[in-house]
Amino acid sequence: MTRTSFVIVVVLVISSFQMMESSPDLANEVKANIQYNAINCRKHSAVITEFGAVGDGKTSNTKAFKEAITKLAPKAADGGVQLIVPPGKWLTGSFNLTSHFTLFIQKDATILASQDESEYPVVAPLPSYGQGRDAAGPTFASLISGTNLTDVVITGNNGTINGQGKYWWGKYRSGGFKNITRPYTLELMFSKDVQISNITIIDSPAWNIHPVYCTNVIVKGVTILAPIDSPNTDGINPDSCTNTLIEDCFVVSGDDCIAVKSGWDQFGIKVGMPTQQLSIRRLTCISPDSAGIALGSEMSGGIKDVRMEDITLLQTQSAIRIKTAVGRGGYVKDIFARRFTMKTMKYVFWMSGAYNQHPASGYDPKAMPEVTNINYRDMTADNVTQPARLDGFTNDPFTKICMSNINIALAAEPKELLWNCTAISGVSSKVTPKPCSLLPETAPVDCAFPVDKIPVESVVLNKCSA
């Protein structure tokens, strides 16, 4: 394309967005094409251009998003409202959602996260963490946030949220954030009935999706992409949440694809909210330096009743990693995993009792975590360097570990010690290569997997349109 024709195309594209802004017909046309499945449909619809937003990738739309949500809140209270983000690049800083609200990001629409720190309010750290995760101090608010909400849907036909993380990763790596933590992309706190579906998130500054202190959460059909060397770009972090379903997601990231959490040391113990009733299924994950699914390391409120099934992991450091430390308290128990297909893994199973990252000070060295009733079955892995590395605490072993029907094929140059086990106990059945002596082979068994469903698995989504 010549320079002149490029300029003409750009001008045409920009003027078509400007037309949409001023034309109610175009806003109606946008609305006419919206169809999706959601926990609740909405009586009212609006398009972000109706609030003065400009999709040129340069104009800050923070004010437009804030104003849209403030003005739409009364409609949300009257039968619900959906706010549509049409094709274009919509630059914005942090904004808060409201209840009975759907944010619909259309195909070819990108919400572009501002790299201007002043576009993110500084907020108090989470009560169950006591400080930010990057530094002893407060945190930048997440790009899209919500507190105390009911019935929130963030969806689209695979529209994008681009966290523009490069700025934040660079400054973080060079030690530029001494007393503040980077923003996450999507964080909902103390909320219930949450759906995040059919969107793509790329280049998050740190964690991607963080429901914390929530109940009834569905994350479905979400694609998360971040460079495999980007710092702390965890995919989905259910944290002190009850009744969560994560399904049909694809994650490539620089940190754990899924990290299940429940608060950090004395702060998490005090808040005491577990993550429980969690189902993760049909996840595909690539994370060469981290886990497919991590439980912890922040697990001080407890993690229990987690089901994982039909998981594909490629070039991932470990499949399931339990991370904890002296001082965490809490528990990781009643964990069930089956039907994992894995290729090119450093470890398949990893349990680390000495994941010794602590908040600034004051953890209780007598607060010992309990790790028990961990069940893994029906898995195959290929090109594995070391099948398992399992380290409990000598004065507090990890117990009731069960592994059955697992076939692990080794890499060309595997570790000499294939199963490195310390301070654990349990059983195995039909596992190759032969597990360590702390997991003796029993008569054939299938390790447990629950036959019931968690409540959110029975939610039927409604067909909605705008």
Catalytic positions, please?
A: 255
Closest CA to 332 of 377, 268, 378: 268
Question: Contact region for ligand NAG (CB under 6 A) — 4-12, 192-200, 258-266, 434-442?
Answer: 192-200
CB of 59 to ligand NAG, least distance (A): 17
Q: CA–CA separation, 326 vs 365, rounded Å?
A: 6
Question: Contact region for ligand NAG (CB under 6 A) — 178-186, 299-307, 400-408, 440-448?
Answer: 178-186
Residue in the block written with tokens 């019935």: 151
128 lines the binding site for ligand NAG (CB under 6 A): no
CB of 329 to ligand NAG, least distance (A): 22
CB of 405 to ligand NAG, least distance (A): 23
Touching ligand NAG, residues 197-216 (CB under 6 A): 197-198, 200
459 lines the binding site for ligand NAG (CB under 6 A): no
Token representation of residue 430: 């039909």
122 lines the binding site for ligand NAG (CB under 6 A): yes
CA dihedral 330→207→306→188, nearest 10 degrees, is 90
CB of 93 to ligand NAG, least distance (A): 7
Nearer to ligand NAG, 106 or 429 (CB): 106
End-to-end Cα separation, the chain, in angstroms = 38
178 lines the binding site for ligand NAG (CB under 6 A): yes
Question: Contact region for ligand NAG (CB under 6 A) — 19-27, 218-226, 266-274, 277-285?
Answer: 218-226
Please pick, from the candidates 223, 242, 266, 276, the single residue that binds ligand NAG as defined by CB under 6 A: 223
312 lines the binding site for ligand NAG (CB under 6 A): no
Q: CA–CA separation, 156 vs 164, rounded Å?
A: 20
Nearer to ligand NAG, 102 or 372 (CB): 102
461 lines the binding site for ligand NAG (CB under 6 A): yes
CB of 220 to ligand NAG, least distance (A): 5
Count CB-CB contacts under 10 A for residue 271: 19
Token representation of residue 455: 């409540």
Strands (E), 115-270: 122-123, 139-140, 144-147, 150-156, 159-162, 186-189, 192-197, 199-202, 209-212, 215-220, 223-225, 242-252, 258-260
91 lines the binding site for ligand NAG (CB under 6 A): no
DSSP string covering 238-282: -BS-EEEEEEEEEEE-SS-SEEEB---HHHHHHH---EEEEEEEE
Nearer to ligand NAG, 138 or 397 (CB): 138
CB of 7 to ligand NAG, least distance (A): 27
Please pick, from the candidates 53, 76, 81, 180, the single residue that binds ligand NAG as defined by CB under 6 A: 180
Touching ligand NAG, residues 140-159 (CB under 6 A): 141, 145, 147-148, 155, 158
360 lines the binding site for ligand NAG (CB under 6 A): no
Q: CA–CA separation, 30 vs 227, rounded Å?
A: 33
Q: CA–CA separation, 387 vs 370, rounded Å?
A: 23
Tell me which amino acid residue 361 is: S
Going by C-beta distance under 8 Å and a sequence separation of 6 or more, which residues neighbour residue 338?
A: 308, 309, 376, 377, 378, 379, 449
Touching ligand NAG, residues 385-404 (CB under 6 A): 391
Helices (H), 78-201: 166-173
Token representation of residue 327: 């001082």
* List of residues contacting ligand NAG (CB under 6 A): 36-37, 94-96, 121-123, 137-138, 141, 145, 147-148, 155, 158, 178-180, 190, 197-198, 200, 220-221, 223, 344, 383, 391, 411, 417, 420, 422, 461
